[in-house]
Structure 1
Amino acid sequence: MPVADKWERRYQQANLPVDACALLQQQQARLPTSGRALDLACGLGGNAVLLARHGLAVDAVDKAATAIRKLSEYAAQQQLPINALCIDLECTTSRWLLEQHSRYDVIVVSYYLHRPILPLIEAALAPEGLLFYQTFNSLRASPSGPQNPDFLLTENELADRFSSLSTRLHRQDINAEETTKPLQTQYIGQRDA
């Protein structure tokens, strides 16, 4: 089954609202109360909803049309400033993300890794902009998480790839106490003024 079909089926059965990623929930005190935010690979938009309720105007991007439709409807009902966009980040990345240069005060990426867009994510941060990133890493094998190394961060990968940002938080041991779950990395970086 193609990956896109898998996500479309999952989103057809899901309802909103959904929770934001743990990193964003735990660190929301770091968020500005105004400005622009980007939720990349947003799925049903748990991160986008939290950001919008915090006072930010949000662009939420995902390639799953069902998720984008549901998020758009929910945002309209709740009167949230969320612009939900159906974009395949792995096909139109260079064009769309390059156009966002220095635009976002906050960018959130959770449970998504496509290494070619990492420099574009960094370029889309405004001065003093914050990047919140949480996803799986390869530091402990687990049958319950992704197996493909393309979707697993290596040790210190985010800190190394975003070395021009000031690291505000970097943990690679999320789920360490639960040996059946895959380890996750949490990272917050900030662009200089």
Structure 2
Amino acid sequence: MTDTTLNSPPAPWVAQWAPALVLGGTILDLAAGGGRHTHYLSARGHPVVAVDRDVTALQARNLPRGVEIRSADLEDGTPWPFAGQTFAGIVVTNYLHRPLLPQLAAALEPGGLLIYETFALGNERFGSPSNPAFLLRPGELLAFAETSGLTVLGYFNGEASQPRPAVIQRLAARAPI
């Protein structure tokens, strides 16, 4: 297995906001990839639902008990696989599919925390992704939080140097209680 995320630490943004998650609350790791955040959050005492289109890397990991792995293509037009479910937290990194944003807000339980980090316009000068369809516009996550009734706890839009140079946008926002 060549997935470098298997032994990677969590994204600093996720690590910064993870203590604000309700202890023991179920977390949705959306587009979980190799499971670095699934593993990290599970080790912090959270049941985690890890979803990705390809769950091979997740299944290959020695994930702790309390982790549920779900295979779902979130972009193929099938209904949201978590209809009727809510989560204490949702973590999304390095992934953007704009039609899912309303479902994310709706899937937060009262007081639930959304931790989101992905690429933004300007990243094209650093490489992939460079397609504007996969890059957030300036303030896009802030606007999403506002229209969804989420309270913004933290936000960043700009250049980052780690783990590689990129233009990113980050949001930590809480659902109303």
Same fold, TM exceeding 0.5?
Answer: yes
Work out whether 1:91 is the aligned partner of 2:76.
yes
C-alpha contact (below 8 Å) 1:61/1:86 kept by paired residues:
yes
CA gap 1:93/1:31 in 2 versus in 1, 3 angstroms? farther
Which residues in structure 2 correspond to 1:146-161 (within 5 Å)? 146-161=129-144
C-alpha contact (below 8 Å) 1:53/1:80 kept by paired residues:
no
Work out whether 1:43 is the aligned partner of 2:33.
yes
The correspondence for 1:135, drawn from 78, 103, 118, is 118
2:53 is aligned to: 63
Q: Give me the TM-score of the superposition, normalised by structure 2.
A: 0.89
CA gap 1:32/1:39 in 2 versus in 1, 3 angstroms? same
Runs of 4+ in 1 over 4 A off after TM superposition: none
Work out whether 1:29 is the aligned partner of 2:19.
yes
Task: For residue 55 of structure 1, give the secondary structure of its aligned residue in structure 2.
Answer: coil
C-alpha contact (below 8 Å) 2:151/2:176 kept by paired residues:
yes
Aligned-residue CA RMSD in angstroms?
Answer: 2.0
Say which structure is richer in helix. 1
Q: Give me the TM-score of the superposition, normalised by structure 1.
A: 0.82
- Ranges in structure 2 where 5+ consecutive residues have no aligned partner: none
CA distance in 1, matches of 2:110, 2:93: 22
2:156 is aligned to: 171
Single out whichever of 53-62 and 86-95 deviates more from structure 2.
Answer: 86-95
Task: For residue 28 of structure 1, give the secondary structure of its aligned residue in structure 2.
Answer: helix
Percent identity reads: 30
CA distance in 2, matches of 1:111, 1:23: 12
| C-alpha distance after superposition, 1:57-116 (max 9, x if no partner) | 100000113223224xx11xxx3311111111112652413232xx10010000000001
CA distance in 1, matches of 2:111, 2:94: 24
CA gap 1:150/1:66 in 2 versus in 1, 3 angstroms? same
2:87 is aligned to: 104
C-alpha contact (below 8 Å) 2:33/2:54 kept by paired residues:
yes
CA distance in 1, matches of 2:28, 2:123: 30
2:127 is aligned to: 144
